[in-house]
């Protein structure tokens, strides 16, 4: 009966209900667009940001790292010259920080100077390729990337190295690593390691990286007997209310033995613009939702006033408050569901438009947004129906039925 | 003497604007009685009916229905009382305009318990509207609309029917149809309290209570004449004489 009653009453008052639905649609469309964009923002901006490479570099606190000194023995090789590999995990925890919107990549590097094919000294870098790929998106690798962090044979060599040593994809080459290792008794012992790698990829980076050889972090740590040690960590973090410096400070606070340097400030400006766009959209959404609420409230109030006699009669013949309220609540529910669905569809288009004009790329709707906005739609509509419904419940049947 | 259904004692109603609409009404209505309330405009008829029907509360006095004082009920229980004990028939019909005849009757069933279309159709059949089941109020004559309203009032088999000028908006023919309907309901044993201004309509009930200024001015059985034939004869004689 309730459904029948609702259907008839909604059809009868099409235009009023239509206005309420339209006001819900407008608000929900804005909110949908905002949510769709925010959910994709990390990715979109991350992509933009990656064009600039890492924005943070984490170094051990001491100045001298092996890279800059070559294979010259250092008098006192202190542990502090390296960062512990487990610090990567600590840095990853930053993603829960309120200053950080998201982390695109964290790539640890261990550098060592090796002699290749007994002729040339080259800097060899051990790293995680899956992370490097996220950070140095412009790297162009001919051949194949190294997908498995545990691979011990593959290497990607910089184009300059390839040319100088006349190495091609598929070639094997020997490296020799020599160093002093500090023994437990305090003395240092000289040791040498020979190893063979295969060229699986040739890198063109347009930077110093072209002069390097890249292998998995693990194998280089083993070769150099520097288990769990890294020389440097590159981080691409998206900041919130941006200043990357804040994140740098946070890293230093977390890890006392490191120095975090901000590299690129370009991205900060980008993120700031994004923050502004987002807060503007949030504001617009709130205003749009308020307008929706007002629209629904007005429609519902008009509906109650118009149907005063009807409500009075219902109460006179014994309708409980619960049943009278459910009549209007169901009406609100229907309005909110229709408005929510249509609003979401329109929101997808708005998001698309904004995506194209702001990011110059299309935005694919994230369907998680749908249940979210439907919830918002139902919540706002029901909430704004409460006052009109209370008004309906206050109607005195004797009074309204008396007046002709 | 049959069972007392309604008993009011010293019923007084003073509205906020100090209008004394009812002033000490003592009234007893038995089960199955058909009572008419008459009186000039503003004499308190509607106010009395509203209080008996649980739509309003008196300023003073009590109303016992089936031995229970309804003036002590809170609004939730009063709603329940109306739902279960009273069938209202209004001068303005107050049908829901976008619902057809069956649905208007089902509405009362829905508020009472559950709406059953077949039962609603049967009730409409009882009031002679078998052919008008799916008509909207606007597609029916006033008499038909009022019969739908009567069907709605009796849909849940209430003990008491309260009708405030049920024929007030109807022409004579339609008014008669509705009255015939009330008469048959009376014969089925319903207790009916009805307000009218029309003495001819009032005469069809058993008992006429006349209110003036919120007080009972007279309370007479309409059958009194047949018990006292002499007066009737006298009247007829005087007519013939032309006196
Ligand atoms: N809600 C109210 N507030 C103030 N005064 C009221 C209210 N309802 C009724 N009255 C007054 O109470 C008195 C009795 O009203 P009531 O409606 O009972 O009269 P009635 O006998 O039904 O008259 P009618 O024949 O015109 O319908 C009138 O003077 C009326 O103005
Ligand atoms: Mg009246």
Q: For residue A280, how many other CB atoms are within 10 A of its CB? A: 11
Distance from CA of A305 to the nearest CA of B (A): 15
Task: Report the half-sphere exposure of B217 (CA within 13 A, side-chain side).
Answer: 12
Residue range B20-35: mean pLDDT, rounded: 96
Q: For residue B66, how many other CB atoms are within 10 A of its CB? A: 15
pLDDT at B225 over 70: no
Residue numbers in B near A12 (CB within 8 A): 97-98
**Cβ B52 under 6 angstroms from ligand 1:** no
Task: Say if residues A278 and A41 touch (Cβ distance below 8 Å).
Answer: yes
- pLDDT for residue A62: 63
Residue from A317, A323, A400 whose CB has the most chain B CBs within 10 Å, to mutate:
A317
Distance from CA of B151 to the nearest CA of A (A): 13
At A53, is the pLDDT very low, low, confident or very high (cuts 50, 70, 90)? low
Is the overall model pTM greater than 0.80, yes or no? no
Atom in ligand 1 nearest the alpha carbon of residue B45:
21
Using a CB cutoff of 5 Å, list residues around ligand 2, an ion: B 46
Residue range A203-217: mean pLDDT, rounded: 91
Residue numbers in B near A7 (CB within 8 A): none
The Cα-based distances of A378 to A53, A105, A289, A389, B87 in angstroms read: 44, 39, 12, 15, 37
Q: For residue A340, how many other CB atoms are within 10 A of its CB? A: 29
Say if the Cβ atoms of A317 and B83 lie within 8 Å. Answer: yes
Using CA atoms of A285, A287, A289, A291 in order, give the dihedral in degrees to the nearest 10: -150
When CB atoms are compared, the residue of A1, A397, A402 closest to B115 is A1
pLDDT at A78 over 50: no
- pLDDT for residue A268: 62
User: What are the residue boundaries of the structural domains of chain B, listed by start?
Assistant: 4-99+158-240
At A240, is the pLDDT very low, low, confident or very high (cuts 50, 70, 90)? low
Residues 96-125 of B with CB under 8 A from A: 96-99, 103, 106-112, 114-115
* Both structure tokens of B132: 């008008």
- pLDDT for residue B69: 95
CATH architecture of B4-99+158-240: 3-Layer(aba) Sandwich (3.40)
Ligand nearest to the CA of B164: 2
Closest CA to A43 of A325, A236, A248: A236
Distance from CA of B116 to the nearest CA of A (A): 9
Q: What is the pLDDT of residues B50-65, one digit of tens each?
A: 999 999 999 999 999 9
Question: Percent of chain B scored above 70 by pLDDT?
Answer: 91
- pLDDT for residue B42: 93
Angle between helices B75-85 and B101-112 (to 10 degrees): 130
Angle between helices A369-394 and A14-50 (to 10 degrees): 150
Give me the total of CB pairs closer than 8 Å, taking one residue from chain A and one from chain B.
76
Cβ–Cβ contact A3 with B under 8 A? no
At A44, is the pLDDT very low, low, confident or very high (cuts 50, 70, 90)? low
Ligand 2 center to B58 CA (angstroms): 16
Q: What is the pLDDT of residues B131-182, one digit of tens each?
A: 999 999 999 999 999 999 999 999 999 999 999 999 999 999 999 999 999 9
Q: What is the pLDDT of residues A114-133, one digit of tens each?
A: 998 877 889 999 999 999 88
Q: What is the ipTM of this complex?
A: 0.90
Q: Strand, coil or helix: what is B188?
A: coil
* Better-scored residue on pLDDT, A91 or B105: B105
């Amino acid at each position: 009966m309730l459904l029948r009653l609702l259907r008839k009453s909604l059809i009868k008052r099409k235009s009023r209900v239509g206005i309420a639905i339209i006001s819900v649609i407008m608000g929900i469309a804005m909110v949908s667009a905002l949510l769709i964009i925010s959910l994709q923002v990390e990715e979109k901006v991350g992509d933009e940001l990656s064009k600039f490479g890492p924005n943070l570099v984490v170094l051990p606190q001491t100045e001298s790292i092996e890279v800059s000194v070559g294979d010259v023995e250092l008098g006192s090789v202190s542990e502090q010259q390296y960062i512990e590999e487990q610090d990567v995990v600590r840095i990853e925890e930053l993603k829960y920080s309120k200053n950080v919107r998201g982390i695109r990549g964290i790539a640890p590097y261990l550098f060592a100077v090796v002699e290749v094919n007994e002729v040339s000294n080259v800097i060899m870098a051990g790293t995680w390729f899956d992370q490097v790929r996220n950070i140095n998106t412009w790297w162009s690798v001919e051949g194949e990337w190294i997908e498995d962090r545990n691979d011990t044979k593959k290497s990607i060599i910089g184009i300059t190295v390839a040319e100088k040593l006349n190495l091609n994809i598929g070639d094997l080459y020997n490296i020799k690593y020599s160093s002093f290792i500090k023994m437990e008794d305090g003395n240092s012992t000289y040791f040498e390691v020979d190893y063979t790698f295969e060229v699986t990829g040739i890198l063109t980076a347009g930077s110093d990286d072209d002069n390097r050889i890249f292998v998995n972090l693990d194998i280089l740590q083993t070769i150099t007997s520097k288990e769990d040690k890294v020389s440097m960590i590159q981080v691409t973090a998206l900041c919130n209310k941006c200043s990357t410096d804040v994140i740098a400070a946070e890293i230093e606070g977390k890890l006392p033995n490191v120095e975090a340097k901000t590299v690129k400030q370009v991205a900060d400006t980008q993120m700031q613009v994004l923050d502004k766009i987002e807060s503007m959209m949030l504001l617009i959404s709130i205003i749009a939702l308020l307008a929706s609420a007002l629209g629904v409230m007005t429609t519902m109030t008009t509906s109650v006033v118009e149907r005063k006699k009807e409500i009075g009669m219902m109460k006179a013949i014994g309708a409980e408050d619960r049943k009278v309220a459910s009549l209007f609540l169901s009406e609100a529910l229907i309005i909110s569901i229709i408005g929510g669905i249509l609003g979401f569809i329109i929101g997808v288009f708005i998001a698309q438009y904004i995506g194209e004009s702001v990011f110059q790329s299309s935005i694919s709707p994230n369907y998680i947004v749908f249940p979210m906005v439907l919830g918002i739609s139902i919540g706002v509509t029901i909430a704004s129906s409460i006052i009109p419904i209370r008004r309906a419940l206050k109607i005195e049947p004797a009074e309204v039925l008396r007046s002709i | 003497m049959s069972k007392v259904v309604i008993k009011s004692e010293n019923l007084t109603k003073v509205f906020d604007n100090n209008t004394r609409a009812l002033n000490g009404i003592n009234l007893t209505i038995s089960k199955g009685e058909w009572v008419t309330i008459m009186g000039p405009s503003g004499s308190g008829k509607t106010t009395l009916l509203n209080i008996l029907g649980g739509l309003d509360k008196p300023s003073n006095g009590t109303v016992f229905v089936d031995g229970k004082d309804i003036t002590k009920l809170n609004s939730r229980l009063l709603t329940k009382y109306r739902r279960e004990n009273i069938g209202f028939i209004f001068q303005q019909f107050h049908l829901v305009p976008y619902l057809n005849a069956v649905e208007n009757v089902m509405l009362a069933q829905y508020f009472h318990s559950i709406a059953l279309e077949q039962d609603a159709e049967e009730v409409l059949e009882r009031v002679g509207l078998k052919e008008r089941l799916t008509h909207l109020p606007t597609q029916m004559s006033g008499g038909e609309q009022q019969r739908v309203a009567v069907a709605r009032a009796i849909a849940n088999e209430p003990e008491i029917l309260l009708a405030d000028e049920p024929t007030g908006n109807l022409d004579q023919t339609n008014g008669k149809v509705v009255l015939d309907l009330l008469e048959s309901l009376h014969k089925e044993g319903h207790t009916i309290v009805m307000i009218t201004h029309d003495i001819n309509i009032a005469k069809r009930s058993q008992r006429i209570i006349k209110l003036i200024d919120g007080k009972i001015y007279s309370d007479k059985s309409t059958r009194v004449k047949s018990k006292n034939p002499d007066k009737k004869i006298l009247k007829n004689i005087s007519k013939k004489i032309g006196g």
